[in-house]
Amino acid sequence: MSQTANADGSLAPQSSRLDPAKFRDGDDFGNELDGLMDTMRATPPTDPAQPVLMAGDPEYAEYERRSKDGIPVTDTLLEEVREVCKASGAKFILQD
């Protein structure tokens, strides 16, 4: 992403997209990118308690955790949903 100055001197963000398949076989690009990401993740971290992560890694880990353990809901929200169900006659199907 680059920035271009507007007439008033303020910066306007600019971005562009390139289709890798226009330059090389699409599978080659994906495989090379996967390899690069694996290499980056295998890099020894400066702090052993914090492994090297790639963009999206924390979100994927959270998705896996929530798929297994469920999505946390505050007691307040749970009660609000219960009241909406009661008022609308819908069955409350969430677990406490």
pLDDT of residue 5: 66
Q: What is the pLDDT of residue 34?
A: 92
Residue 73 in domain: yes
Residue 13 lies in a domain: no
Is this model's pTM higher than 0.85 or not? no
Does residue 94 lie in a domain region? Answer: no
Q: Which two tokens stand for residue 57?
A: 């890694």
Q: What is the count of structural domains for the chain?
A: 1
Q: Which structural domain, as residue segments, surrounds residue 27? A: 21-88
Q: Tell me whether residue 25 is in a domain.
A: yes
Residue 95 within any structural domain of the chain = no
| Three state DSSP letters for 22-59 | HCCCHHHHHHHHHHHHHHHHCCCCCCCCCCCCCCCHHH
pLDDT digit string, tens, across residues 25-81: 778 888 999 999 999 999 999 999 999 999 999 999 999 999 999 999 999 999 999
Token pair belonging to 68: 């297994």
- The pLDDT tens digits of the residues spanning 85-95 come to 999 999 999 87
In a domain, 63, yes or no: yes
Closest CA to 61 of 41, 39, 36: 41
Provide the β-strand partners of residue 2. Answer: 14
- Among candidate residues 56, 96, 57, the one with its CA nearest the CA of residue 79: 96
